Amino acid sequence: MKKTLVLLASAAMLAELAAPAFAYDRYAERPPVVVSPDLSAPWVLQLGRNPAEVAPRQQRRQAIQPKARQAAPRVQQRSVQRRQPKPAQVENVALRAPEKRSVRPQMNPIYLPQQVAYDGGEAPGTIIIDTTENFLYLVGTDGQARRYGVGTGKPGFEWSGTHKVTSKREWPDWRPPAEMIARERAKGRVLPAMMAGGPENPLGARALYLGSTLYRIHGTNQPWTIGGAVSSGCIRMRNEDVMDLYERVNVGTKVVVR
């Protein structure tokens, strides 16, 4: 009996010693470590899910991102192309002829107003017009005269004589005579029956009417013509010059045209 008990106790002890060995043998080969590219894989493993189920989502994100990156350069290239001119436009600019600007001749400075000596026989205050040299003199005192450049009658329209200033007008209206209208129409130019005073008016800023004639001492909208035989008989002055003369003479002033 005692032997039986001893054998049973020995068997129990041997069973307890063998149990750890069996457990160790069970885990002798440790499971491989699985590293997933998805950072959420460890949490998925703990939840008992297969990491392969998450991979398609990551692949979709990776497939979408390259397309977004490629779209940006296309937008930049289009904006640059809009700023650059087309070759045809560049050629047109290069071949375009330079704009022509009308260059009007300048008046000779000799015709600007100035004080000169005068030794003639006319009384102070008299206007003398030299149609040969194209000068107008306003006789002063002490052997002096104020001289202005003028435009006079062109060939066929010269005249001479003595008159008085019968009226003065500021920015006068222009009413061309019938003879002038017919003459210009024959040349293909149509003149108005009347043009209101203003900067474009051929009579300019001021006018001094001579006797009962159609002639006047007046300004002009073509100052570069001063110094030449250019009018239809009137005495033409620069606007600033005729305004100066206008203030120096009165109605009744004697005018001598030579």
> What dihedral do alpha carbons 239, 244, 248, 253 form, nearest 10°?
-20
Cross-strand pairs, 114: 147
Q: What is the DSSP-derived secondary structure letter of residue 258?
A: -
Q: Is 15 a catalytic residue?
A: no
Q: Among residues 218, 227, 237, 255, which one is catalytic?
A: 218
Read out DSSP for 193-209? S-B-SSTTSTT-SEEEE
Q: Is 218 a catalytic residue?
A: yes
Q: In terms of DSSP H, where are the helices of 47-187? A: 55-83, 87-95, 178-186
- Pair of tokens at residue 210: 């001579």
Q: Among residues 139, 203, 234, 242, which one is catalytic?
A: 234
Contacts of 246 (CB under 8 A, 6+ apart): 168, 170, 206, 208
Question: Rounded to whole angstroms, what are the CA distances from 247 to 49, 168, 244?
Answer: 112, 10, 6
Note the Cα 26 to chain centre separation in Å: 94
**CA gap 135, 256 in Å, rounded:** 12
- What is the set of active-site residues? 218, 234
